[in-house]
Amino acid sequence: MSTIKTDKIIPVGSALTVEGASVFTAGVSANSTLSVGGSVYAAANVYAAANVYAAANVYATGGTVVMSSAYTHRNRIINGDMRVNQRGATGATFGGVATITRNYDMWYITRSVGNTFSYQGGMTSDGATLSSHRNYARVTTPATTQTLAAAASGAFYTVAEGVNVGDLLYGTDAARTTTLSFWVRSSVTGTFSGSLKSYPNGARSYAYPYTINAANTWEYKTVTIPGDTGGTWLTGTNGQTYIQWNMGSGVNIGSATATTWNSMDQYFINGSTQLVSTANATWDITGIQWELGSVATPFEYRPYSVELAMCQRYYQNYRIDKIALNTSATGVAQQDLYKAFYIVGTHSSGYGEALMGVLLPVEMRAVPAIGGRGLQGGSAFNDATTGFNGTTIVSAGYGSVGTKSIQWINIGSQAGAATSGQYLGFDLSAEL
């Protein structure tokens, strides 16, 4: 490989391309793109108005590599590598009713009546063919093919909050281009599709295609999406953007104009592959990144503690085993499942009182909905938001739920010893 040593490089045009060489220079400046076949070594600064491509490394030993995009926190997707699973969920039934199913934090499926497919969490890989990703989500279709109604809908999706993507300036003339990238694998090949949509009703949408070339093989996909200059996009702590992948939807919500922003709720591109049209099909995904700019960068790995905290803004679990709330376990067996907290109460003359407060580790997006489990004296079990002996865990005059803390006073009605206490487990949801 050859070497170029110089005090200054001035491109003849707007872009600078050096093939098969490393560049050693006092400074590098390109009005457009800088592309080098080897490494770039600069004693001062490296500037490029567009992108910098180097087959090896970029060094600015006495200055700075100046970038318009962020070095960190590039990924607007939370839990894009499926590491956080506070619910501990590993599967979901196929179902046949309209529902939203939640497994991995921040990732959901939505399906209309009669649109049948399942969503599995807890899927793991050795990471060897997945750019080091070890977790992924799976969608599975049932043993029979489905005929979709015109208004049927079904998708795998997440929602970006307005405070996290407001700088994309959607709905303005200055709307910015973004790039979506992900790893995907399916037992079905063909041209699939997904969409970006405005929250909450998809008044604006952009349908995009992606092709799965080989069955049961992980493939890396990138999609560049122009910013939307039209419509109304929410900001603040509201949801702003749905990012979704179609699993099976009807013609009423298909798009005849792919890769164009439209004023309608579009799930997919007409004529694209629908997973639910194939029996016993699987579709897997991980390594999802959505970032500013027209080039996909390597997936941004954040520390688990950071990713967990980002997820806890939307959901927090205080059930020690993370088992779903509809478990069939009863009585004393529930102690081992739900005793995240033990509250010492005072029982006399058939009544008891327990006081509890929890300062949340992360401020939640909005005042959360609370789901609870209670055990009275290690035996009687009560479900959902009716806690100890059927009384309300949180109610006017007895307690409060906020974005930073929860507290309550609970009155029981079971007689017991003065030292009797109560077990409690609950979860909090401010999900979009």
pLDDT digits (tens, 9 = 90+) for 221-230: 999 999 999 9
d(CA 404, CA 159): 22
| Domain edges within the chain | 2-60, 99-311, 317-429
**Higher pLDDT among residues 305 and 20, named by residue:** 305
User: How far is the C-alpha of 204 from the C-alpha of 242, rounded, in Å?
Assistant: 10
Tell me: the pLDDT tens digits for 178-191?
999 999 999 999 99
Question: Is pLDDT of 166 > 90?
Answer: yes
Closest CA to 343 of 281, 432, 424: 424
For 261-271, b where at least 16 C-beta lie within 10 A, e where not — what string?
bbeebbbbbee
Distance, in Å, from the CA atom of 100 to the CA atom of 212, rounded to the nearest integer, reads 26
Q: What is each CA distance from 169 to 145, 217, 234, 235, 263, in whole angstroms?
A: 42, 36, 10, 10, 17
Q: Compute how many other C-beta atoms are within 10 angstroms of the C-beta atom of residue 217.
A: 12
| List of residues 6+ apart from 2 with CB closer than 8 A | 20, 21
User: Where does 233-310 show beta strands of DSSP type E?
Assistant: 239-246, 254-255, 261-262, 268-269, 282-292
Break the chain down into helix, strand, coil percent, rounded to 5: 5, 40, 55
Residue 117's pLDDT band, with cuts at 50, 70 and 90, is confident
At the fourth CATH level, which superfamily is domain 99-311? Answer: Galactose-binding domain-like (2.60.120.260)
Burial 125-156 (b: 16+ CB within 10 A, else e): beeeebeebebbbbbbbbeeebebeeebbbbb
Handedness of CA 86, 87, 90, 92 (dihedral sign): negative
Question: What is the per-residue pLDDT for 48?
Answer: 65
Dig out the tokens for 189 from the structure: 């090949």
More confident residue, 135 or 343: 135
Percent of the chain with pLDDT over 70: 59
Tell me the per-residue pLDDT of 23-56, one tens digit each, with 9 for 90 and over: 666 666 666 666 666 667 767 667 666 667 666 6
Structure confidence by residue, pLDDT tens digits, 340-398: 555 555 444 444 555 667 789 999 999 998 765 444 433 333 333 333 333 334 332 34
How confident is the model at residue 101, as a pLDDT? 77
**Cβ atoms 202, 265 nearer than 8 A:** yes
CB neighbour class for 384 (10 Å; exposed up to 12, middle 13-18, buried from 19): middle
Is residue 255 within 8 A of residue 207, CB to CB? The reply is yes
Q: Which residues contact 99 (CB under 8 A, 6 or more apart)?
A: 110, 111
Q: Please give the C-alpha separations between residue 24 and each of 31, 42, 353, in angstroms, as whole numbers.
A: 19, 6, 75
Tell me which amino acid residue 170 is: Y
Give the pairing of strands 399-401 and 405-412.
antiparallel
Residue type, 432: L
